[in-house]
Each structure stands twice: as C-alpha cells, then as structure tokens.
C-alpha cells in the first residue's frame, strides 16, 4: 500500500537533512494585525523592508498566486555550541542559500510524487511572509516570550523555511498551546532589556539589531552591554537561558554551519582586533559566503571598537 503523499513528502524533507517538517493550508496570517501594530510602534527601527509587502504578509496566498499549501521546515544550527562573540547562526556558511537549495530539491521531489509540474516557490527569511505564523500553523512549535518559535523536542536554535505550492495537501494540526508558563528567564536575562512585554521585542534595543541592522553609530547607552558581553555580531542570550534549550538544544551536525577559521575559538577582543586590522580584501576573503557580510566591514569595525572598550576577554 502506497503511503499518502504528505507522508512521502515529509520523508523526503527529513532525508534532505531538515529537522522538523509540517504542512499547513495558506490563508490570512493570524499574527498580521500584531505585526502591523509592532511596526506602527516603531519597534522595527531602520528595517524599512519590513514595511514593504504588507498586503502579501497579511495573507500567505498572495506571495505566490495560485499557491494553496505550505511545507514548513526547520534546520537546527547547534544550540549546544559554546557562546562567543558571534551568534551561533552566523559562524558558518549563509543558511539562506543552503536551505533554498534543499527546498528547491524538495520542490522537485514533490513534483515527482505528484506526477506533474507543481507551481510554487521557496522562501527562507527574505519574502513577505510571517514565517513563525506559518510554522505554528504547521505544528512546529509555539511563540516563546522571547518571540522565538520553540519546539518541545528541539528548543529554538533552528532556521525556518517554507515551500509554497499550488497543490492541495492535508494540513497538520496547528500548535495551539504554549509552554512557557510563568518562566521569565529570557525577559530578565536580556542585556539591554529589549522586551517591552512577553512576546514583544523592541528591536531598536536588541543587540542583534544594534550589531547587524543598525547603520549608524550604536547609542552609548548600549555600549556597556555589548562590550561586557563580548557581542560582536548578534546575541544568543535570550535563547541560552531558555529552559527548553538548556534541556533540548543539540550538537551541531550540519557541516556547512561549522565555524569558519576567522571566528572559530576566538574570544571577543581577539576577534575585534582582527576585524579592526582587516583590509576590505581580507574581509571579503574571510567572510565569503558568510551571514556576517550583511553587516559590512565598516559596521563590524564600529562594533569591534565598542567591544574593545569593554572588560570582556
């Protein structure tokens, strides 16, 4: 007896290396109103791209005309790795390209299983899609108080990706419960107190935003938190303290996410010194294919100067 197509698709996704996979129907995004309120409050800071495509974000049927289903996947990036000056997700190769390549391969496998061409498109963190919304609807987890999607068997150290398809698929049950309870570990541990309330992040106070997205100078009020914590690029504190990660975070298994030599085993001040003495050519060579190229060398030097001014070693 042939297994249902949904089961076969999931088997292909796991064979491609994804750690979680779920299916959901497309439609109005449950969290679109909250997202719009968040943007209107100015919590997006300089991330103007988040304002674009508002109509598409509000309904997941709109980014890909004709699409009716989404296959949502997660790929773990090793939450058990030691902390350091670079957030875990950015230490190796860029996850966008790796995941898109695998999602496109999954698309081809779906077409083989369906026996026909299936119009669709893969997205990883770059399209007008509220990805956590889709992931929760596909049964992958709940929204933690730190705004991350948390899975009860994996924690939150994973990337999300979606394959939107013009193919009717039986949806999985949504993840309708939350399991943070009275815990405030992430809220209380944030070095810059960036959480306005549980589940609401003021990105303009978040170290990840300040060290990656912010184009100008980092406000002086945040210098001590960045320097003393040794945060050169991004921040994992709210994930590190989450009990679900303490218990269920995994060792890194994806070779592409292994730390590249320029960041491996370096403390904050050593890496900051390296950044400050790099030429543009050395930067391009060291960080080719790295998420850290997003910040540009000038911004990394800005943050490195702040880190060098603190007590962190």
C-beta separation of 256 from 92 below 8 A: yes
Distance between alpha carbon 272 and the CA centroid of its chain, in Å?
24
* Cα-based distances in Å from 160 to 4, 21, 31, 304: 24, 10, 17, 29
Contacts of 300 (CB under 8 A, 6+ apart): 232, 233, 275, 283, 292
Q: What is the pTM of this model?
A: 0.95
d(CA 194, CA 187): 8
Q: What is the pLDDT of residue 53?
A: 86
* pLDDT above 70: percentage of residues in the chain: 98
The catalytic residue positions are 125
Q: What is the pLDDT of residue 310?
A: 59
Q: What is the pLDDT of residue 313?
A: 40
Label residue 142 by pLDDT band (50, 70, 90).
very high
Label residue 167 by pLDDT band (50, 70, 90).
very high
| 43-93 pLDDT tens trace | 999 999 998 888 999 999 999 999 999 999 999 999 999 999 999 999 999
| 243-278 pLDDT tens trace | 999 999 999 999 999 999 999 989 999 999 999 999
Residue 9 pLDDT greater than 70, yes or no: yes
Q: Which two tokens stand for residue 211?
A: 């060290």
Contacts of 199 (CB under 8 A, 6+ apart): 143, 144, 145, 147
* Cα-based distances in Å from 259 to 9, 72, 77, 285: 31, 26, 11, 15
Label residue 136 by pLDDT band (50, 70, 90).
very high
């Amino acid at each position: 007896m042939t297994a249902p197509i949904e089961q076969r698709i999931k088997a292909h996704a796991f064979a491609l290396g994804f750690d979680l996979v779920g299916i959901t129907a497309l439609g109005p995004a449950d969290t679109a109103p909250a997202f719009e309120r968040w943007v209107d409050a100015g919590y997006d800071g300089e991330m103007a791209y988040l304002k674009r495509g508002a109509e598409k974000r509000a309904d997941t049927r709109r980014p890909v005309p004709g699409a009716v289903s989404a296959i949502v996947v997660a790929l773990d990036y090793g939450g058990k790795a030691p902390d350091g000056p670079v957030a875990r997700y950015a230490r190796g190769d860029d996850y966008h390209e790796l995941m898109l390549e695998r999602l496109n391969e999954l698309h081809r496998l779906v077409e083989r299983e369906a026996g026909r061409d299936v119009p669709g498109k893969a997205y990883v963190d770059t399209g007008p899609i509220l990805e956590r919304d889709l992931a929760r609807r596909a049964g992958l987890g709940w929204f933690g108080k730190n705004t991350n999607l948390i899975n009860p068997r994996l924690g939150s150290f994973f990337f999300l990706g979606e394959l939107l398809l013009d193919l009717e698929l039986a949806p999985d049950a949504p993840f309708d419960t939350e399991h943070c309870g009275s815990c405030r570990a992430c809220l209380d541990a944030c070095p810059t107190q960036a959480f306005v309330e549980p589940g609401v992040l003021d990105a303009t106070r978040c170290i990840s935003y300040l060290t990656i997205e912010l184009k100008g100078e980092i406000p002086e009020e945040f210098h001590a938190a960045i320097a003393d914590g040794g945060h050169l690029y991004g921040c994992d504190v709210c994930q590190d303290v989450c009990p679900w990660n303490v218990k269920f975070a995994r060792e890194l298994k994806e070779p592409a996410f292994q730390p590249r030599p320029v960041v491996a085993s370096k403390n904050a001040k050593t890496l900051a010194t390296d950044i400050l003495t790099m030429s543009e050519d050395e930067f391009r060579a060291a960080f080719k294919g790295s998420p850290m190229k997003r910040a540009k060398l000038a911004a990394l030097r800005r943050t490195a100067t702040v880190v060098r001014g603190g007590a962190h070693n």
